[in-house]
Structure 1
């Protein structure tokens, strides 16, 4: 079975974050150890993720916040990486006008090229790190399917996302449908009606 490589964002994803919960409850998932999560260096993070992808080819990548940005940059720059699919949760805009954004500005600008792997972008309508309109435009640019979680904040602990079973459902569907791409968009087109009702905490 394909591995799930979980890619944290700024400051990491310690318990009770859903990424930590996922890694502890899924024997096929592991968190990518990114150096110095409080002071991220783009080149160091890219190297760490590249090593994990090379060690575990054909994995599903699951990123949150800056981790999602890192995934998009990697896939946009190195199309030959053996990745089965990408799940981008609440990407953080490195150019957003919020207080902590100075720590991630070197990760900008966001790539706007079609990814060559099946991908889905999970967005919130009140995420301070990226507006929903920007998330929708980014999904279109990347060729990713968009899932609207509604008023879900930054889809993190502060907005109620400790254990998040709905995240695993999205990953499982992405994993299953990578072999049947024509069915992928049909399922994700209906997902917004189902997944927000699933427990987020």
Structure 2
């Protein structure tokens, strides 16, 4: 059986947001960590994701949006656990001033290949990252890049409540083997 862990962005998703809809409609989709408002504290989010991933031996598919992608990537650089794959939707570009309190280790983590299969979904009109910045992430992380075209931040404000294409991507990742070829698991750095 596969677990599905929803990794939220910086704030609470609106009621119609695709992640919130999936959490409400599917008992096997759980928040990791539960959504909270600002401020975004990356180390706390990474620790909460680690607790959720390691709470069970069943493999998990991580479903991250926005800053949740950063949580996922930093978690993967610091820890291991039973993760089958990750869907990374609209990761924001991390410049020198975002988020406040980001240390040099985060920049290193953002440049590392993920140890599990991943798909990065990017928009050509995302206000938080250019398409070229998203492509750079995909290349560094070893992620398949999915181009949604002009899709904003792939959130409620951009028209993404129901998102059938996202559901298909998650189903494909859930059916994939735990580690893709060329994605060896790193030693645990807990």
Of 87-96 and 138-147, the range deviating more from structure 2? 87-96
Name the structure 1 match of 2:144: 145
Q: Distance in 1 between matches of 2:95 and 2:67?
A: 12
CA contact (8 A) 1:34 1:45 kept: no
Q: Distance in 2 between matches of 1:3 and 1:70?
A: 18
Q: CA deviation at 1:144?
A: 0.6
Of 16-25 and 30-39, the range deviating more from structure 2? 30-39
Q: Aligned residue pairs: how many?
A: 176
Q: 1:181 to 1:157 in 2, by over 3 A?
A: same
| Residues 46-91 of structure 1: CA deviation (Å, up to 9, x unaligned) | 111111011134100000000011101111222x322111110000
Structure with bigger helix share is 1
| Residues 118-150 of structure 1: CA deviation (Å, up to 9, x unaligned) | 111000001011110010111011101000000
Q: Distance in 2 between matches of 1:81 and 1:150?
A: 33
Give the TM-score normalised by the residue count of structure 1: 0.80
Name the structure 2 match of 1:197: none
Q: Distance in 1 between matches of 2:162 and 2:95?
A: 29
RMSD: 2.0
Name the structure 2 match of 1:2: 2
Q: 1:94 to 1:37 in 2, by over 3 A?
A: farther
CA contact (8 A) 2:3 2:60 kept: yes
Runs of 4+ in structure 1 off by over 6 angstroms are none
Name the structure 2 match of 1:121: 120
Extract unaligned runs of 5+ from structure 2: 182-190
5 Å-filtered alignment, 1:1-201, equals: 1-34=1-34, 36-57=36-57, 58-78=59-79, 80-95=80-95, 104-107=99-102, 108-109=106-107, 111-178=110-177, 181=180
